[in-house]
Structure 1
Amino acid sequence: MNAKLTFLGTGTSMGVPTLGCPCAVCANARVPGSRNRRTRPSVRISYPDAADPARTRNVLIDTGPDFHAQAIACDVWGVDAVLYTHGHADHILGMDDLRPLSFAQREGLPLYADEPTADTIERIFEYTFRKEKRYPTSARVHMNRLPDEPGTKVDLFGATFLRVPVMHGRQRIAGYRVGTAAYLTDMSDIPEESYPLLQGLDILILDALRREPHPTHSHLENSVALVEKFAPRRAYFTHISHDLDHEPTNAELPAHIKLAHDGLTLEFNIAPESV
């Protein structure tokens, strides 16, 4: 079953252009159509509903503070579920923008997150999750808490999303694999227990913040080495800062590795894989 993965955003937590920065990449990012223009990181995965192939389902991974603009730019007309990687601002603060997309959902739009992330979302958006005196036009969502275990399964409309634990500095957070694609943003390292979940990939998406090492994010050289380790057919880097200029950086990377850019859409097989 074919699916499409769209990068809604590919930037670091401060975005590109970074406020107040006069560097050449940030200047270029202000030019309309520049691939250096990077909003906060998120992806949409679109695929046919297994029970009703004429119906397209849309699953998001994270809703950052740029989600409203991303949804307009990428024609996000509907969302059927959201998976969260962790509770940092650049990954959750757009949750409230799900409101108009959730109103038609009788049972509420399902959100999936581990315990710490769910706690953070419910605290920040208390008015959405409260049981009494609930704000009348709050997003109609319900939280599903996931165990922090490799391979935890979330079955959504005929596709299986597998939790892939990664390290974000000292914090253990989630990446996700679905079919032949894996999305691992905000990672500095991958624990060995996650290795079996990253075999036989068509697409591997990794954090690649900058050229220099960083305490909580993978850098360019390390991400290239991880691609060589797991040997996907193709790889794309995300969560990119203004240290990496899109075209010159792509020119130096191996042919099967590219920097992603906002709005890039990839096709892959979403059929359940044995891992």
Structure 2
Amino acid sequence: MFIKKFSYVRRGSGHPLILLHGLMGKLSNFNALLDFFPKKGYQVIIPRLPLYKMPLLLTNIYSLSKYVINLLIEIEIEKATLIGNSLGGHIALIIAKNRMDLVHSIVLTGSSGLFERAFGDAIPKRENYEYIRKKSQEVFYDPRIATKELVDEVFHIVNDKKKGIKTLYIAKSSMKYNMSKDLSVIRQPICLIWGRQDHVTPPEVAKEFHRLLPHSELYWIDKCGHVPMMEHPKRFINILEKWLSKFDFNRENLFCRI
């Protein structure tokens, strides 16, 4: 593998929850889950995806999926629940398709893989701070979630030449890797948690995932955009905890209780 050293946060013990952030996301997007689930008997692991550390020719969604697979093997994690937002959900689906032995179940929220509205093919007006602020706010139902710190970070990424190019490479590889013909082979239980006002991966995308994934359940969060675990963390956690409670993770074969 082109990256030998893995970077991740790990907390708690028990059934592993692997949290996968999006292209413009970061580990702190999952702070609420990281605080909550280790107290409930789960092991929470958040990989730092090497978005800007891969060679340019390997900067794509498949390589990111391979990185997570190698991390799980390295730290001896099997039958995990993968929880992915946006690009992270797409990565989770690729892992489930290629290494089902590593995956017990999947949680998708605002996932790419079928359709997404891109930030911009060439990120026009990238030097215009107000443009970046507006585009960042559109990710959320409540624009106040897009704090100055968050906007500053996005502005820095798109205006850093190397990071900007790699961001576009990953985004284009994600759009090219459409999974509509692959989803029927993913047999693991799937939980879809979607914002009703998601403008990046609109509600129609969630409904299509639900139709194509054989063992999926769909849950909605109202007044919510593309990143539900940030915008409505309590509601997100409530849905997720109830869904996870269906499984007896202590049994060897991890059969569902119902």
User: TM-score scaled to structure 1, two decimals?
Assistant: 0.36
Give the number of the structure whose residues are more often helix, by fraction.
Answer: 2
User: TM-score scaled to structure 2, two decimals?
Assistant: 0.38
